[in-house]
Amino acid sequence: RDLQLFAHMSKAARAIPVDRCDAQAVSNILNAFSRLNIQDRALFAHLAAATKATPFSALSAQGVANTLNAHAKMGTEDPALFQYLSQAIQETISLSPDASNFSPRRSYKPINPKGQDAAAHTSEDDDFDEDESDSPRRQGPQGGGGPRGAHAFGGSSSGLVFDSQAVANVVNGFARRDMLDKKLMEVMSQAAIAIPEHCWDAQATALVLNAFAKLE
């Protein structure tokens, strides 16, 4: 890894005003640094501020998952950030017409697969790293897919659309930081139940089960 390059790009990213940081770019930058376990507290603090300044409508499910897991993995101490992400998930789903009663017939819908499976992981502390730079935002039926890319949970018109990969990443991120909010986990439980059984792979299943086991 080229640490000089990452140091230079960190300075470049920190020079971008918070209100000009695109949500997708923020999650991709965080994802890159966390993949290589590069500690950069100044950068992560700047990007956390950018995330908290982002309207819920500008977020994607995978972006939220990547942002959450990167901060959790690198040990970010910012309760307000995790509260913001929790609120974003809860409010976006609750405001979605199709999520009003969590009926599987209404709450999941087909999404176009990218033809790629999630990367294999062997530890419950791992997550699915996914760069969104070449992926459509997952805010409608045209979004990209997670494991098997078949179905996702969310509203039909707006808001976050969760496939099994995004559900697993979200609950795993909160579990890592021991910030499991019962209301949030109830929402994520219903999202997981609404996704058909054949859309889950072993790693996503393990991450979800371990996160909920920590809640008990």
The C-alpha atoms of residue 150 and residue 130 are separated, in whole angstroms, by 17
pLDDT score of 151: 53
Rounded CA-CA distance 127/56 in Å is 23
Among all chains, which residue has been given the structure tokens 């998952």?
65
Model pLDDT for residues 120-137, shown as the tens digit of each residue:
333 445 554 555 544 433
Is the confidence at residue 118, as pLDDT, over 50?
no
User: Please, are residues 196 and 164 in contact by the beta-carbon 8 Å criterion?
Assistant: no
Which pLDDT score is estimated for 214?
Answer: 86
Mean pLDDT computed over 37-52:
96
Give the model's confidence band at 77: pLDDT under 50 very low, under 70 low, under 90 confident, else very high. confident
Query: What is the dihedral sign for C-alpha 210, 131, 55, 6?
Result: positive
Q: What proportion of the chain, given as a percentage, has pLDDT over 70? A: 69
Closest CA to 192 of 205, 182, 181, 177: 205
Please count the residues of the chain.
216
Confidence band of 62 (pLDDT split at 50, 70, 90):
confident
Whether the model clears a pTM of 0.85, i.e. scores above it, the answer is no
Answer for the pair 6, 41: CB distance below 8 angstroms, yes or no. Answer: no
The tokens describing 45, both together, are 């603090």
What pLDDT digit, counting tens, does each position of 83-113 carry? 999 999 988 874 334 433 333 333 333 333 3
Q: In the prediction, which pLDDT does 120 show?
A: 33
CB–CB of 108/61 below 8 Å? no
pLDDT of res. 60: 87
Tell me what pLDDT residue 5 has.
96
Residue 153 pLDDT > 90:
no
